[in-house]
Amino acid sequence: MSEYKRIVLASRPEGQLRADNFRLETVPVPAPGDNEVLVRNHFLSLDPYMRMRMEDAKSYADPQPLDETMIGGTVGEVVESKHPDYQPGDKVNGMLGWAEMGVANGNAMRKVSDRIPLSAHLGPAGMPGMTAWYGLNRIITPKAGETVVVSAASGAVGSVVGQLAKLAGCRAVGIAGGPEKCAYVKDELGFDDCIDYKAGNLEADIAAATPDGIDGIFENVGGEIFDTCLARMNPFGRIALCGLISGYDGQDLSLKNVRVFLTMRLSMRGFIIAEHMEEWPQGLKELTGLIAEGKLKYRETIAEGLDSAPEAFMGLLKGRNFGKQLVRLV
């Protein structure tokens, strides 16, 4: 192959994301330099953080540059290597972006285990799984018998949070959009309960699902869902503030129940999983083992071909995905 396809950010979104914020290009395959590796990507991960990076706003990372390959996690196969640790045929996880191929320094990649399917290294045994593992174990610090609530519960991060909370002996309650997602969260993932926030009885449904109150919130959504859970918090409850997807297109995220932070002596910590790389080896080992043993279940929504990535990404921000959203590239 002498050329490959990639998708660049053509313009910054104003409010809701549109397909013409992206541009598909065909470009020459680059030759790897010293310590670099050329990779043919098999799967691209689509993740909500990409929406925040598209804004030119102060944040934890620099904005996605215009006219450059969209940022993104990938898994694929080494085609050519000028790095001593990699050989052609090795399966690797890297950040090669929305592209069929790419070159990167081998130090910024990792070889992946073949104990589990390749795509799982972008989901429960990758960044989303680590996000769940870290936020639950390092911020919520669950104890047996406690109640942990997680929003976006059928998704890549939320599905792992609830299953790990169950393994820790907690009552796990999910919140998700629609009866089909809620049935999956309860019946297949084994959560104790799952609330359909679209059913219109959020406050009563959360109260019924958390008879002993809430000790830990793993927050992925923000806004009304988060605000309603806050009112159920027990003394010294912990909140892992992981994401606020209901506000990524600029929607209002204001809270009314702020008083409970004082009255219930709550603690809340935001975190960015890429800043905790020292925890990844332990976390990924545990998650990979659980998947291989069939103790950690996951679901994927796979879009076919790079051209489908913009539509699939816009769908992710509207909840059209069911489980980890991927794009298959080969």
Residues that bind ligand NDP (CB under 6 A): 47-49, 128, 131, 152, 154-158, 176-177, 181, 220-221, 242-243, 245-246, 271-273, 316-317, 319, 321, 324-325
Integer CA distances (angstroms), 288 to 27, 88, 146, 250, 283, in order? 35, 24, 25, 36, 9
Smallest distance from the beta carbon of 161 to ligand NDP, in angstroms?
9
- Closer residue to ligand NDP, CB minimum distance, 99 or 130: 130
- Closer residue to ligand NDP, CB minimum distance, 204 or 272: 272
**Strand arrangement of the beta sheet that strand 267-270 belongs to:** 193-196, 171-176, 147-151, 214-219, 233-241, 267-270
- Closer residue to ligand NDP, CB minimum distance, 32 or 128: 128
Tokens of 200: 């219109």
SS3 content of the chain, % helix, strand, coil (to 5): 35, 25, 40
Smallest distance from the beta carbon of 218 to ligand NDP, in angstroms?
9
Smallest distance from the beta carbon of 47 to ligand NDP, in angstroms?
5
Smallest distance from the beta carbon of 73 to ligand NDP, in angstroms?
10
SS3 state of residue 253: coil
Which of 67, 323, 28, 317 lies closest to 309, judged by CA?
A: 317
- Closer residue to ligand NDP, CB minimum distance, 99 or 157: 157
- Closer residue to ligand NDP, CB minimum distance, 124 or 237: 124
Residue 23 β-bridge partners = 8
Smallest distance from the beta carbon of 298 to ligand NDP, in angstroms?
10
Q: How many Cα atoms sit within 13 Å of 243 on the Cβ side?
A: 24
Smallest distance from the beta carbon of 242 to ligand NDP, in angstroms?
5
User: Strand pairing of 171-176 and 193-196?
Assistant: parallel
- Closer residue to ligand NDP, CB minimum distance, 122 or 260: 122
- Closer residue to ligand NDP, CB minimum distance, 101 or 149: 149
Smallest distance from the beta carbon of 206 to ligand NDP, in angstroms?
14
Tokens of 303: 């879009």
Type and span of the H or E element at 218: strand 214-219
Smallest distance from the beta carbon of 189 to ligand NDP, in angstroms?
13
Query: Backbone phi, then psi, for 23, in 5-degree steps?
Result: -140, 130
Tokens of 19: 């397909």
Integer CA distances (angstroms), 65 to 8, 21, 54, 163, 190, in order? 9, 12, 8, 37, 41
- Closer residue to ligand NDP, CB minimum distance, 11 or 16: 16
